[in-house]
Structure 1
Amino acid sequence: MSAALLSDVAEYDLRGLNCPLPVLKTQKRLKSMASGERLWVRTTDPLAVIDIPNFCREKGHALLATEATEDGHRFLIARGA
C-alpha cells in the first residue's frame, strides 16, 4: 500500500501492554469504528504476532498488513461488518 493511501489511518499505540490487553483494547477500539475503517495497531508484546491475526480471523476483521518495527510490530486492520 502506498503511503498516500495510509496517511489518513489512525494509529493505536498499545506498546508496553502485554497479553491479553492488546487484543482486548483493539477489540474495544474497533467496535467504535465503522465497517471498513482502517486502524494501525502498534504493540511490543511478542505474542501479538499470534494473537492479533487470530483475533481478526475469529471476529471477521481484515488484517491488511503486518510490519516488524524497532520495538515490536504494527498491524493494519480493516474493521469487519
Structure 2
Amino acid sequence: MAHGFSSSLLVLFFQTRHDASLDDDFYHCFNSEVLMVDSADTLPASDRELDTSGLFCPEPIMLMHNAVRDMTSGQVLMVVATDPATTRDVPKFCQFLGHELLNHQSEADGTHLYFIRLG
C-alpha cells in the first residue's frame, strides 16, 4: 500500500469513530483533559507542524499517521485542520495509538489546532 496503513487498522479506526455522539466521543470517551484556550501565548510548543487544511476524512488522519512515524515518543505534533470531522477523529487517533491530546483550539474561521504528544 502506498500510504503504509494496514487495511485492518483503518477499518478498526473508522468503525470505532462512529460509535458515539460528537459530545460523548470528544469529551467523555477518552477520560483525558483537553485544554480549550483563547490565547496563542498559552499554546504548547511543537516539534513538528502538519497543515491538513482543505482536506477531508480520511486524509488528515492518514497524514498524521505518516507524520508520527518520523517522530519520537514525547515529541509534540501540531496539526492544523479545517475538516469538522477531526473533532472526533483526532481524539480517537490519539486514544487508539497511545498518544496524548494536549490541546484542541477551535478558531472562528473553522480552523482547528491540535497539539499531540506522542506516546
Q: Does 1:41 align with 2:79?
A: yes
Unpaired runs of at least 5, structure 1: none
In structure 2, relative to structure 1, the CA distance for the partners of 1:42 and 1:29 (3 Å cut) is same
CA offset digits 1:38-59 (Å, max 9, x no partner) = 0110000010000000010011
Structure 2 counterpart of 1:75: 114
Report the alpha carbon displacement of residue 9 of structure 1 after superposing the two structures with TM: 3.6
Shift of 1:8: 5.0
- Where is the strand percentage greater, Structure 1 or Structure 2? 1
Where structure 2 has 5 or more consecutive residues not aligned to the other structure, the ranges are 1-34
Match of 2:89 in 1: 51
Determine whether 1:17 maps to 2:55: yes
The alignment covers a number of residue pairs equal to 80
Q: Match of 1:65? A: 103
**How far off is 1:71 after superposition?**
2.9
Structure with the greater alpha carbon radius of gyration: 2
Contact 2:47 2:77 survives alignment (8 Å):
yes
Structure with larger RCO (C-alpha < 8 A, sep 6+):
1
* TM-score of the superposed pair, with normalisation by structure 2: 0.60
Return the TM-score normalized by structure 1: 0.86
